[in-house]
Every structure is written in C-alpha cells, then in structure tokens.
Amino acid sequence: MVKLVCTLGTSPGGIFETLGNLRKGNYEAENPIPVNIKEVYVIRTSDKAVDIAWKLVKAIFACCGEKDVTISDISLQITDITSNSDYELFMKEVSSRISKGDYVDFTGGRKAMSVAAAIAAKELNAHIVTTIIPQNEYNEIAQRAKGLKEEDIIAGGNRDCRVDFCSLTSKNARTILLQ
C-alpha cells in the first residue's frame, strides 16, 4: 500500500489537502487517477512552533474527514536544519521512510527539508507532489490558527472537536504531481 510522506514546518498547511486531492484523483498530472492512500507519515523537527503545527494537523484529520487514514508523527531531535549533520540526519530519516511508489509532499518545512525529501523521493522512485494554497487564504488560515488555544488543539486531536478545525483547511488548494 502506498503512503504519503510529508515534511512539516510551522504551519499545518497542505497535508490534509494533499491527501484528499490524491485520494480523489483531483491533482494536476498527465493521468490523474485516485490514489488509495491509507497511511501518512509526517516528518518534522521538534521546534515548539512545529509541535503546535503537528497537533493542528492531528486535530484537522480527527475532525474533518479522512478518518480511515493512519497518520504518524516522526519528530527528529533537532529544532532546525542549520548544519550539514542536521541535513544528513533529516535525509537519513526521510529516506528510511520512503518506499518505491510512495507520494512525497515537500510543501511544508524548511527549504533544506524539502530538498532532502525530494532528492530522497527521486532516488527511491517515489512520486514528488506539492500543494499550492493561494497566499491570501494561507494568511487567513495562519491567522485563525494563531487564535486557537493549545488545550483545544490537543482536544481536537482526541476527536473532541470543540473548535472548527475545518476552517483551517484550504478550499482552493491545488496539488501538482511533479514526478
């Protein structure tokens, strides 16, 4: 079964949308067919703001659909990529998680994370995808996310959907298959 492997930064932006678009066959490619994905790996640093973004992703998945999907948190013991060894650690981790035919979404996180994930995908014969959220919508979502309390976000992850987490997903996200 193919997986979706995503990088994550300080915004939840795109992971839920990428998954939905791939599953519906709603993405830009020569022959966009629905992809049967039931497993998502989120690879990220352990920076505080990224921790919150992960909790938001978890709450969005718990409260807004795609409920038959398993979503796994892969948190590295670094808070940023600022050295060659950070990059190598990230590359090693992301490479170990990708199998042939998987979908790798590099939309979130630092550029060096995106580059590592895309190179790993290329080498392992996985697909490379990205999701574009219009800038104004992205900013609105970021503003809404900022207004949430951490305890409500954690509750959301446990399917206690006391906040409208679905307003944090983009209605106009476009997913592009690059390879």
For a second copy, give the closer residue by CB, 95 or 152: 95
Strands, E, within 33-99: which ranges?
A: 39-44, 70-75
Where is 130: in which H helix or E strand?
Answer: strand 127-132
Shortest Å, Cβ 49 to a second copy: 12
Do 173 and 27 meet the contact criterion of CB atoms below 8 Å apart?
Answer: no
For a second copy, give the closer residue by CB, 84 or 136: 84
Shortest Å, Cβ 118 to a second copy: 4
Tell me the C-alpha distance between 59 and 102, whole Å. Answer: 24
Q: Which long-range contacts (CB under 8 A, 24 or more apart) does 159-164 make?
A: 159/62, 159/63, 161/59, 161/62, 161/63, 163/59
For a second copy, give the closer residue by CB, 18 or 130: 130
Place of tokens 């995808």: 129
For a second copy, give the closer residue by CB, 34 or 134: 134
Question: Residue numbers of the site for a second copy (CB under 8 A)?
Answer: 28-29, 82-84, 87, 106-107, 111-112, 114-115, 118-119, 122, 128, 130, 132, 174, 176-178
Shortest Å, Cβ 65 to a second copy: 26
Shortest Å, Cβ 56 to a second copy: 20
For a second copy, give the closer residue by CB, 36 or 84: 84
Shortest Å, Cβ 167 to a second copy: 24
| Among the listed residues 130, 91, 131, 98, the one whose alpha carbon sits nearest the alpha carbon of residue 2 | 98
